[in-house]
Amino acid sequence: MDNLTMSQLLFPSITKTAADYEAAYPPRGLKERAKVTRFAPSPTGFLHFGSLFAAFIAAKTAGKDGVFYLRIEDTDKKREVENGVIGMVNGLREFGIVPDEGAVSETEEKGCYGPYTQSRRTPIYQAFVKELVEQGMAYPCFMTEEEISAVREKQEAAKVLPGIYGEYAIYRNITAEEAKKRIDNGEEYVVRLKSPGRPDGRISFKDEIKGKIEMPENILDVVLLKKDGTPTYHFAHAVDDHLMHTTHVTRGDEWISSVPIHLQLQRVLGFKPPKYAHIAPIMKEDAETGGKRKLSKRKDPEAAVSFYAEAGYPAGAVSEYLMTVANSNYEDWRRANKTESMDKFDFKLSKMSKAGALFDMVKLHDVSKTYISTMNAEEVYSAVEEWSGKYDAGLHALMTADEEYAKRIFSIERGNKKPRKDIGKWSEVKDYISYFYDELFDGVRGWADNVSKEDRDALLRRYAEIYDHSGSAEEWFPQIQELAAEAGFARSPKEYKQAPESFKGHAGDVAGVIRAAVTGRLSTPDLYSIMQVMGRDKVMERIHQALEA
RNA sequence: GGCUCCAUGGUCAAGCGGUUAAGACACCGCCCUUUCACGGCGGUAUCGCGGGUUCGAUUCCCGCUGGAGUCACCA
Whether residues A141 and A267 share a domain: the answer is yes
Q: Give me the pLDDT at residue A346, please.
A: 92
* Cβ count near A36 (within 10 Å): 24
pLDDT at A1: 55
Distance CA(A542)–CA(A534), nearest Å, equals: 10
CATH number of the domain encompassing residue A491: 1.10.10.350
Is the minimum distance from the CB of A145 to strand B below 7 Å?
yes
Distant-in-sequence, close-in-space partners of A352: CB < 8 Å, separation ≥ 6: A57, A209, A277, A279, A280, A326, A327
**Could you give the CA distance from residue A355 to residue A159 in angstroms, rounded to a whole number?**
31
Does the nearest atom of strand B lie within 7 Å of A258's Cβ?
Answer: yes
Residue A143 included in any domain: yes
Chain A residues 82 to 141 whose Cβ lies within 7 Å of strand B are none
Same domain, A154 and A223: yes
Q: What is the ipTM of this complex?
A: 0.93
Do A182 and A311 share a structural domain? no
- Please state whether strand B lies within 7 Å of residue A40 at its CB atom: yes
Question: How many domains in chain A?
Answer: 4
Instruction: Collect the ranges in chain A with pLDDT lower than 50.
Output: none
Q: What are phi and psi of A48, to 5 degrees?
A: -80, 145
Which amino acid is residue A388, in one-letter code? S
Q: How far is the CA of A450 from the C1' of B30 (A)?
A: 22
Q: Does residue A218 form part of some domain?
A: yes
Q: How far apart are CA A58 and CA A514, in angstroms?
A: 54
Are residues A235 and A330 part of one domain? no
Tell me how long chain A is.
Answer: 549
Q: Report the CATH number that the domain containing residue A166 is assigned in CATH.
A: 3.40.50.620
A384: Cβ contacts below 8 Å, ≥ 6 apart: A395, A399, A406, A410, A426, A429
Final residue in a domain of this structure, among A279, A296, A318:
A279
For residue A490, with 0-12 CB atoms within 10 Å meaning exposed, 13-18 middle and 19 or more buried, which class applies? Answer: buried
Do A513 and A448 touch, CB atoms closer than 8 A?
yes
CB-strand contact A147/B, under 7 Å: no
pLDDT, tens digit, for every residue of A50-75?
999 999 999 999 998 999 999 999 99
User: Residue A326 maps to which CATH number?
Assistant: 1.10.1160.10
Residues 389-408/A with CB within 7 Å of nucleic chain B are: none
| Residue A317 lies inside a defined structural domain of this protein | yes
Within a domain: A95: no
- Closest residue to B71 (CA, C1′): A162
Query: What residue numbers bound the domain in which A422 lies?
Result: 377-432
Is A6 domain-assigned? no
Task: State the pLDDT at residue A535.
Answer: 93
Are A413 and A419 contacting, i.e. CB atoms less than 8 angstroms apart? yes
3-state secondary structure of A295: coil
Q: Say yes or no: Cβ of A507 under 7 A from any atom of strand B.
A: yes
Of the candidates A325, A348, A373, which is a domain's last residue? A373
Say how far A152 CA is from B17 C1', in Å.
Answer: 49
Per residue in A250-268, pLDDT tens?
Answer: 999 999 999 999 999 999 9
Report residues 287-306 of A contacting strand B, contact meaning Cβ closer than 7 Å.
289, 291-294
Q: Is residue A24 part of a domain?
A: no
Last residue in a domain, options A323, A345, A373? A373
Q: Are residues A227 and A265 in the same domain?
A: yes
Would you state the torsion angle of the CA atoms of residues A356, A362, A365, A366, taken in this order, to the nearest 10 degrees?
A: -100
Q: Residue A465: is it exposed, middle or buried by C-beta count within 10 angstroms (0-12/13-18/19+)?
A: exposed
Q: Which contacts of A440-447 are long-range, i.e. CB under 8 A and separated by 24 or more positions?
A: A440/A398, A441/A520, A442/A520, A443/A520, A443/A545, A443/A549, A444/A516, A444/A517, A444/A520, A444/A521, A444/A546, A444/A549, A445/A516, A445/A520, A445/A521, A445/A522, A446/A516, A446/A521, A446/A522, A447/A513, A447/A516
Do both A290 and A404 map to the same domain?
Answer: no
Q: What is the pLDDT of residue A372?
A: 95
Provide the terminal-to-terminal Cα distance of chain A, rounded to the nearest Å: 100
0.95 cut: is pTM over it? no
| Residue A72, domain member (yes or no) | no
Distance between CA A314 and CA A498 in Å, rounded? 47
| Protein-to-nucleotide distance from the CA of A364 to the C1' of B23, whole angstroms | 17
b/e A77-109 (16+ beta carbons within 10 angstroms → b): eeebeeebbbbbbebbebbebebbbbbbebeeb
- Mark the nucleotides of strand B covered by protein, meaning any atom under 7 Å from a CB: 1-8, 10-14, 22-26, 32-39, 67-75
**A139 and A235 belong to one structural domain:** yes
Same domain, A461 and A420: no
Residue A41 lies in a domain: no
Regarding whether A162 and A237 lie in a shared domain, the answer is yes
- A128 and A220 belong to one structural domain: yes
Are A311 and A386 contained in the same domain?
Answer: no
Are A212 and A132 contained in the same domain?
yes
Please tell me whether the peptide bond between A162 and the residue prior to it is cis, using omega within 30 degrees of 0. Answer: no
pLDDT of A380 reads: 95
Secondary structure string (H, E, C) spanning A487-535: CCCECCHHHHHHCHHHCCCEHHHHHHHHHHHHHCCCCCCCHHHHHHHHC
